[in-house]
Structure 1
């Protein structure tokens, strides 16, 4: 085992426990709020279009700020910023529970999203700081497991807390976990000196603002309009394209850029980011299409639909750590190919499975898709985080998380549109079971093609390398 070229943590297990809790909290922050939207609408006497900003504000904050957070960590030190992010997330959780109206709650959720962006970006970045290279796969698998657990636990935990104690409980539950995560990270994570570039600006404020506005415009273009891509969506998408062009121009002329564009010249990083986005698009397909197929075609009630929908995150949680050990054993490239192969098999099966096979006919391929995703994500995260120097690890981790978020956002919009076009309807309440089944199969056929594209990129990169 090669020696670590940086201070050792006082306890590797303690450090990993702190990072795991941070990742769990960031993931839980999204899924636990979704189930609370009907209750919040009633509590604040607000329509769904307003209440949904409780979720959107959190996601937008993560998406727009995560790269800036990663760069700031590389310049100022990761440990200090991570502790600040955990403290901010925990404080925002306490304030959220006491929010007197919807508008303050949305603002607090944006602040909570900033804390989550810190935890998501630096959770992965710290793995390379505290473990040797031949052990990073297992640690990435652990963090992937905790992320999946947060997603899986959110709906059931949130529902139970709301039923027993009311909606503030979904925020109060973060307080003890946040305190424990802070204490563990404070005690066990090493303080690693930042390598700021002397003589240059410490932080690219212009690039940060441009990137945040660009990503916000894109995210809003993909999420607003209730599934219909109208003039406002087109205007936002055009603004995002203009913003992206201006951002590239600024970064090329800045002495200390937010993102060194030369990073995208490295084939391994470029391929890893692209495949991460493509795979996330397909994972979102299971969340967008699944509920309609389960309820409209298979005739399941809300409770059974919710239970069936937890199968995917649960499988990802159970396979995360074994996937990490497999990555350490066979290497990132082989594990990535195996994961993508399993996803192709599962999505292809969903594209042809007859509806008369019932729930089992849907769950069995879904298990293959999510198990393949857990293996691919662990391998891809490990491979990406092994590239680039330690001084860029924060921004690389942030870009990895950003690529995943953009894939999820794009998947919700694009795959939702494919689903709607495939069953040729506008009102889901009027959709027949056969029409929804046709839409589901068509959408997963497109999803299989997307994963084939990710596989081709992965194979092509290795051959070129």
Structure 2
């Protein structure tokens, strides 16, 4: 039996609940980005190869991607506040284990534990917005979460560099201890209480294992080889497809499935999932291809590249709350369409940008795309989470986070491979300016097409409804 909706939002102070949800989003996004800056340090500290220390980042991403849907379902069954507290505790304890790791592989295992805690926090943060925040203010809350997520992603590398330089690599994990304790205290005090439920037998363990295996296979297929797809990548991709098909068969026959196949036939969930994955792939393209264009075409030094690249997360952080307010005022559907239009426009501008326009031309296009992404996220997340059955909000929130993670993985691998292919080079360091520009134009033209496909997915149901209405009135 699914857990009943928790008490109304008025039963706990809104500001405290929002502070808790924003902090958990900040922690999970920091966990994604802060470790990247430490990779060279880990190579020296553990006398390991760069390929080995990359698993410090990959283990976290794999854990989040494979567990986020199951975490959302567990929250629906056993209580979202309860599981949120467990997720915060897991993340915090794993952070301590990371700092105390005596070897690289212990660190990697602890990072996987950190990712498991982050999966619970990410899956339940958006679901709890539906319980802790009145529906007429849900857009602002989603905008705030988008702001803190972008801030965490942008802050991670710079904060990590400061901490490592002054206190050693352990500090990038120890910083999570006071923040985790604060998040736990806020969750304990302000999040709506769960009603007791006895749903132990309802969790679909076979389906969870199959989905986790399929997602792990896909993520590894996309990340191993750094964009060069060999036999191992193709084998893993084939395994992901096969496991995904088996998962669908198992779910269609399960008494209490992890994900009801019919859920994707619901307009908000189906289109929201597809659009979110496509939009995140487009946004990730700016982080993957941007540095190559700025260095290879504009010949900027590292400091100026970092400054230009920071404009994207900065705009996302600044646009989050205003976008959320606009969602509450004008409606989620209008703002979803508007956000995707901005993304498509920004990507198209990037597909036409030339070195003669300098960094200014690139920044204008980047800001357009990133502002559109912030608007889209606030609107799409609000529409999907608040428009579904309260008893399914955990699994739906997990699916939204899954689509985002799949977009990050796909954007980092597929779009990087498209860029290299279009630039007709295997080593970007030796590529000419013309080759870099050609690769940039090709990959962002593809990004604009993906944004257009996401837009079509969102407006298709409206178009069909309008056509049906016109047919009936004739």
- TM class by shorter chain equals over 0.9
1:461 is displaced (CA, Å) by 2.1
**Structure 1 Cα separation of the partners of residues 355 and 235 of structure 2:** 40
- Please point out which of 111, 114, 129 is paired with 1:112: 114
2:471 matched residue in structure 1: none
1:138 matched residue in structure 2: 140
1:33 matched residue in structure 2: 35
1:421 is displaced (CA, Å) by 1.1
- TM-score between the two structures when normalised by the length of structure 2: 0.95
Q: For 1:10-409, list aligned pairs within 5 A.
A: 10-193=12-195, 201-409=201-409
**Structure 1 Cα separation of the partners of residues 225 and 22 of structure 2:** 36
1:123 is displaced (CA, Å) by 0.5
1:394 is displaced (CA, Å) by 0.4
Q: Which moved more, 1:217-226 or 1:298-307?
A: 298-307
Contact 2:224 2:233 in 1 (8 A): yes
Contact 1:8 1:190 in 2 (8 A): no
1:308 is displaced (CA, Å) by 1.8
**Structure 2 Cα separation of the partners of residues 215 and 231 of structure 1:** 18
Q: Which runs of 5+ in 2 are unaligned?
A: 1-5, 466-474
**Structure 1 Cα separation of the partners of residues 75 and 22 of structure 2:** 19
**Structure 2 Cα separation of the partners of residues 7 and 379 of structure 1:** 21
1:464 is displaced (CA, Å) by 3.2
1:305 is displaced (CA, Å) by 1.7
Contact 1:22 1:123 in 2 (8 A): yes
Paired residue secondary structure (1:287): helix
**Structure 1 Cα separation of the partners of residues 236 and 94 of structure 2:** 29
Question: What whole-Å deviation, never above 9, does each CA across 1:328-357 have from its counterpart, x for those lacking one?
Answer: 000011001111111111111111111122
**Structure 1 Cα separation of the partners of residues 100 and 197 of structure 2:** 40
**Structure 1 Cα separation of the partners of residues 19 and 235 of structure 2:** 44
**Structure 1 Cα separation of the partners of residues 268 and 73 of structure 2:** 20
Aligned residues: 461
Contact 1:71 1:394 in 2 (8 A): yes
Contact 2:227 2:414 in 1 (8 A): no
Contact 2:9 2:134 in 1 (8 A): no
In structure 2, the CA distance between the partners of 1:434 and 1:82, relative to structure 1 (3 Å rule), is same
Contact 2:313 2:370 in 1 (8 A): yes
- TM-score between the two structures when normalised by the length of structure 1: 0.97
In structure 2, the CA distance between the partners of 1:191 and 1:119, relative to structure 1 (3 Å rule), is same
Question: What whole-Å deviation, never above 9, does each CA across 1:219-257 have from its counterpart, x for those lacking one?
Answer: 000111122111111100110111011111111111011
**Structure 1 Cα separation of the partners of residues 180 and 204 of structure 2:** 30
Q: Which runs of 5+ in 1 are unaligned?
A: none
